[in-house]
Amino acid sequence: MATRRLPPLRALEAFVRTVRLGSARAASDELGLSPSALSRRIGNLETFVGKKLFTRARQAMQLTDEGQAFYEAVNPHLEALARAVESQSDNLSLLRLRLGVLPMFGSKRLFPRLGELRTRHPLLHIDIDTGPHLEDRVGDTLDAAIILSRGPASGLHAIRLDHNNVHAIASKALADKLGKEPDEELLAKQTFLIHNELPESFQAWKAALSMQDLDPAAIDHYDSGQLMLEAAAQGLGIAIMHDDHLRRDEDARLTNLYGVEVESPYSYWFVCKPTALEERPVRLFHDWLVRAAL
């Protein structure tokens, strides 16, 4: 039986790193190659497979459709090979990921699914950080983070995890008192609960109701979505939050005030430094998160 030819592995590594990092310059720096040497390796791979994997223009490399298809076909097998080598290694060690995450996302979306990740990658362990300024600490005290943002800072690898609507969430008792139609005079007498991470959501909600000048009796600020929902359930105010929060909390005491849906300025994002994708713990979590679609 004839032995199949293996592709040039260094060329394959150059290709995969260029795709993952999204930049030929970043890939050449990571591999310690000159840009021309990186280009030659990828050229060797293109010759081997007989396909144009990248277009080249003005020192930039853009993945072609065939290149994308090749990456999607090859990458899972490379990950499987890495896992196989890991399983046979005498130097088994834990893989440690320092992940920043907001408590609400962690409790309602991430933790219910982490068992799947542990089953798939038993060596991967995660240190959870729910402290402030998660995005600013990525690449320093954090390997990666799941943030709530209008859009992550440039220079970060970012994947948008959802699209949300903003709702005013209140106790059913308070909703009954306010009635089915928005009344600016009644709303002006209420306390509104605003999350520190969502300061512009209230403005979006007011604009949708054509009540830009609404000035409530008080605005209380929270850094915990879970506590905001409990406060709303206890009748302490009207929480301006995402529909996702109400749906996942499944608290029968709460309701969506007026049934108004407003597009949120904010979404959940996964962020890390582009070079962090070459670190196995980050890559494993990143790929699982994308597939899991939490």
26 within a domain of the structure (yes/no): yes
Question: Of 88, 108, 136, which residue is a domain's last?
Answer: 88
**How far is it, in rounded angstroms, from Cα 198 to Cα 105?**
14
Q: What is the pTM of this model?
A: 0.67
The confidence score (pLDDT) of residue 170 equals: 95
What is the per-residue pLDDT across 77-131, written as a single tens digit (0 to 9) for each?
Answer: 877 776 666 666 555 568 899 999 998 899 989 999 999 999 988 889 999 999 8
CATH label of the domain that carries residue 172: 3.40.190.10
Q: Which pLDDT value is given to residue 101?
A: 96
Q: Is residue 265's pLDDT more than 60?
A: yes
Q: Which residue has the higher pLDDT, 142 or 10?
A: 142
In this structure, are 31 and 76 located in the same domain? Answer: yes
- Is residue 172 classed exposed, middle or buried when 0-12, 13-18 and 19+ CB atoms within 10 A define those classes? middle
What percentage of the chain exceeds 90 in pLDDT?
Answer: 51
Cα distances (Å, whole numbers) of residue 235 to 195, 214, 249: 17, 20, 17
- Dmax (CA) for the chain in angstroms is 84
Please enumerate, as own/partner, the contacts of 110-115 that have beta carbons within 8 Å and a separation of 24 or more. 110/146, 110/294, 113/292, 113/294
pLDDT above 80 for 193: yes
One domain, residues 17 and 76: yes
Of the candidate ranges 11-25, 101-115, 211-225, 274-288, the one whose mean pLDDT is the lowest: 11-25
142 and 278 both lie in a single domain: yes
**Could you report the per-residue pLDDT of 52-77, keeping only the tens digit for each?**
998 887 667 788 999 899 988 888 88
Rounded Cα–Cα distance for residues 288 and 127 (Å):
17
Candidate from 57-61, 177-181, 189-193, 290-294 with smallest mean pLDDT: 57-61
264: CB partners within 8 A, 6+ apart = 163, 164, 165, 166, 198, 201, 204, 242
What per-residue confidence (pLDDT) applies to 285?
A: 95
Flag whether pLDDT at 198 surpasses 60.
Answer: yes
Residues 278 and 148 placed together within one structural domain of the fold: yes
Number of structural domains in the chain: 3
Residue 242's domain comprises: 165-265
Q: If you ran DSSP here, which 8-state letter would residue 107 be given? A: I
